[in-house]
């Protein structure tokens, strides 16, 4: 397997295979941290805010001196940030001008099934024909553009949107189809947390680059191949040797000696990170976690490091006044080595006024009454055979969009036990869950609050309590290692 380094250098807990770039890696900490632009609605009425996004190919400069063609929402990578009020209907019209069909999923959204981005509800570019329909499984197919309607009747949280096309999610996200969708509400606004320029979204992902500056990915023609994006050499998933934050390689950010709120998203296909601050501030525990995937925690939790798996979000407050002015603080990755052991750098530039605080109580979190749950289900994530190839399966079966593996009742609490052979970040659509425990013990240090993705570790099981709300229909649960997902580690359930 050319260009492969196996797991070498990827570090403990890192299971994806490293794909090396064929260009010299750029110097670290030179590019200023970009912030994805916040999208403005094209119109707002009594019922909704309306947005328009065009998915298109654009060449952008990611590595200095190289042009990288991306598949971008509005041609951007990451895509533009959408910012919604909780309960305010948000309608996004997506136009597809890419050479491939796409599917848009709002990750973490409590969204009606027809708008959730079911993997066969394809949006084809205008003028293309059924020649692309290699899977023979079609859903609600459209051409040109379509609306996605998001009620967003849910608490403030850091959500994100990304491609979800069946069998091709990994190569299409790798090429750039991911962005933030933030939800605000009155409860969060009333807290004295850092805000404005001190509320910073950080989309972290890894990529590898080819000689010509294009993204490197182990697939031939993602538009035509089936099984698609990945070769069997990449069973564990694809990891690159360049770390990008908001699309820039190892960027740098000047900060005031003050508190900042960071919305961390691991948008990598398969790489997990153990994020640290180097040096740790005096007194240790540099991260104060205030929110998880699906919103505020009941109370802040302090961490010296953060384990973040693909698709997970952590909102943390970092107080740079704990460092002397002039300190360079590296956001490091203890699971990486060499270049992937570093993510970005902060430079504490100046003293500044700061009236923010992290209150001891953040939000009310209703513990789901799990002990009384009548329905318990078990899901096993493992290797398996997928249409004659090696792949990944749930309960022994590869994903089939026509087969429903469970029929949960809306409003009823269920307990799901997730078993795995290896590390798998398991994501459940529609409604968030609470982690009850790992392997018969209590929840881990990163399991607080409402989650929508949980990293299940090798030979461990995780119990979660979930209550699906509001929308009937087919929804998904899957491994968010995107290569695993494309290799069929996904199951559908139908709420009613
Ligand atoms: Cu973030 Cu089903 O995905
Ligand atoms: Cu997996």
Is 12 a domain residue?
A: no
Q: What is the mean pLDDT of residues 370-379?
A: 97
Asked if residue 257 and residue 203 are part of one domain, the reply reads yes
Task: Show the domain range for 487.
Answer: 370-495
Nearest to 185 by CA among 84, 294, 89: 84
Task: Say yes or no: 143 and 219 in one domain.
Answer: no
Widest CA span of the chain, in angstroms? 63
Q: Which ligand is nearest to the Cα of residue 456, counting in written order?
A: 2
Residues 178-235 pLDDT 10s: 999 999 999 999 999 999 999 999 999 999 999 999 999 886 444 434 444 455 568 8
* Residue 19 in domain: no
- State the first-to-last Cα distance of the chain, in angstroms, to the nearest integer: 47
pLDDT tens track for 283-311: 889 999 999 999 999 999 999 999 999 99
Instruction: Write out residues with Cβ below 6 Å of ligand 1.
Output: 105, 107, 162, 164, 311, 427, 429, 476, 478, 480
Mean pLDDT for 422-429 is 96
pLDDT, mean over the chain: 92
CA 236–ligand 2 middle distance (angstroms): 8
Do residues 330 and 390 share a domain? no
**434 within a domain of the structure (yes/no):** yes
Find all residues with CB under 8 Å of 133, minimum gap 6, and list them: none
- pLDDT tens string 331-365: 999 999 999 999 999 999 999 999 999 999 999 99
361 assigned to some structural domain: no
- Closest ligand 1 atom to the C-alpha of 485? 2
Q: Are 171 and 220 in contact (CB under 8 A)?
A: no
Whether the per-residue pLDDT at 374 is higher than 50: the answer is yes
110 and 169 both lie in a single domain: yes
Q: How far is the CA of 66 from the centre of ligand 1 (A)?
A: 31
Question: Does 381 share its domain with 481?
Answer: yes
- Is residue 265 domain-shared with residue 384, that is, in the same domain? no
Task: Say how many domains are in the chain.
Answer: 3
Which of residues 148, 170, 187 is at a domain's end?
187
Q: Do residue 386 and residue 428 come from a single domain?
A: yes
Ligand 2 centre and the CA of 78: distance in Å? Answer: 23
**How far is ligand 2, taken at its centre, from the CA of residue 491, in Å?**
13
> What separation in Å is there between the alpha carbon of 137 and the centre of ligand 2?
23
Residue with CA at minimum distance from ligand 1 atom 3: 107
Residue whose Cα lies nearest atom 1 of ligand 1: it is 107
Same domain, 380 and 486: yes
Whether residue 18 is contained in a domain is answered as no
- 50: how many CB neighbours lie within 10 A of its CB? 16
Atom of ligand 1 nearest to the CA of 162: 1
Closest ligand to residue 483's CA = 2
Tell me how long the chain is.
Answer: 496
| Res. 7 pLDDT band, cuts 50 70 90 | very low
Q: Output the CA–CA distances (angstroms, integers) from residue 210 to 5, 10, 66, 157, 214, in the order listed.
A: 16, 20, 10, 36, 5
142 located within any domain: yes
Same domain, 33 and 182: yes
Q: Is 20 part of any domain?
A: no
Which atom of ligand 1 lies closest to the CA of 311?
A: 1
ipTM tops the 0.95 cut: yes
Same domain, 157 and 60: yes
Choose among 210, 238, 247: nearest CA to 229. Answer: 238
Threshold 0.90, pTM exceeds: yes
CATH number of the domain bearing residue 163: 2.60.40.420
In a domain, 7, yes or no: no
124 with 200, same domain: the answer is: no
Whether residue 312 sits in one domain with residue 385: no
**Confidence (pLDDT) at 137:** 63
């Amino acid at each position: 397997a050319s260009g492969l380094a196996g797991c070498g250098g990827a570090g403990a807990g890192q299971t994806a295979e490293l794909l090396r770039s064929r260009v010299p890696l750029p110097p670290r900490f030179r590019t200023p941290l970009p912030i994805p632009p916040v999208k403005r609605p094209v119109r707002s009425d009594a019922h909704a805010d309306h947005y328009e996004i065009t998915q298109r190919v654009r060449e952008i400069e990611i590595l200095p001196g190289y042009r990288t063609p991306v598949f971008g929402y509005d041609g951007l990578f990451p895509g533009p940030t959408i910012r919604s009020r909780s309960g305010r209907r948000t309608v996004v019209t997506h136009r597809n001008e890419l050479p491939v069909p796409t599917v848009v999923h709002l990750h973490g959204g409590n969204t009606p099934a027809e708008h959730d981005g079911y993997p066969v509800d394809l949006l084809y570019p205008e003028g293309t024909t059924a020649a692309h329909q290699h899977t023979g499984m079609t859903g609600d197919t459209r051409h040109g553009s379509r609306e996605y309607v998001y009620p967003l009747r849910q608490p403030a949280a850091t959500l994100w949107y990304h491609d979800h096309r069946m069998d091709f999610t990994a190569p299409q996200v790798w090429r750039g189809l991911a962005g933030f969708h933030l939800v605000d509400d009155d409860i969060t606004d009333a807290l004295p947390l850092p805000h404005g320029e001190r509320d910073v979204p950080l989309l972290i992902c890894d990529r590898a680059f080819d000689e010509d500056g294009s993204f490197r990915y182990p697939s031939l023609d993602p538009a035509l191949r089936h099984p698609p994006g990945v070769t069997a050499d990449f069973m564990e998933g694809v990891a690159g040797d360049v770390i990008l934050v908001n699309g820039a390689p190892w960027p740098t950010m000047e900060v005031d000696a003050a508190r900042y709120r960071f919305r961390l998203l691991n948008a990598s296909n398969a790489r997990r990170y153990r994020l640290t601050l180097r040096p740790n501030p005096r007194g240790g525990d540099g991260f104060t976690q205030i929110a998880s995937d699906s919103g505020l925690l009941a109370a802040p939790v302090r961490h010296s490091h953060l384990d973040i798996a693909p698709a997970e979000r952590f909102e943390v407050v970092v107080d740079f006044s704990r460092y002397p002015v002039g300190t360079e603080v590296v956001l490091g990755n203890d699971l990486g080595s060499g270049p992937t052991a570093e993510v970005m750098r902060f430079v504490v530039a100046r003293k500044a006024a700061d009236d923010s605080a992290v209150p001891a109580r953040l939000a009310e979190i209703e513990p789901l009454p799990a002990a009384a749950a009548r329905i318990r289900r078990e899901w096993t994530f493992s290797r398996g055979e997928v249409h004659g190839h090696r792949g990944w399966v749930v309960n022994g079966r590869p994903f089939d969009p026509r087969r429903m593996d469970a029929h949960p009742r809306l409003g009823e609490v269920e307990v799901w036990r997730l078993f795995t052979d290896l590390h798998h970040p398991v994501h459940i659509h529609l409604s968030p869950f609470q982690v009850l425990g790992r392997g018969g013990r209590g929840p881990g240090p990163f399991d607080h609050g409402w989650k929508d993705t949980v990293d299940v570790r090798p030979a461990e099981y995780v119990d979660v309590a979930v209550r699906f709300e509001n929308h009937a229909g087919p929804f998904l649960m899957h491994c968010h290692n995107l290569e695993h997902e494309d290799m069929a580690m996904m199951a559908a359930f139908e709420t009613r």
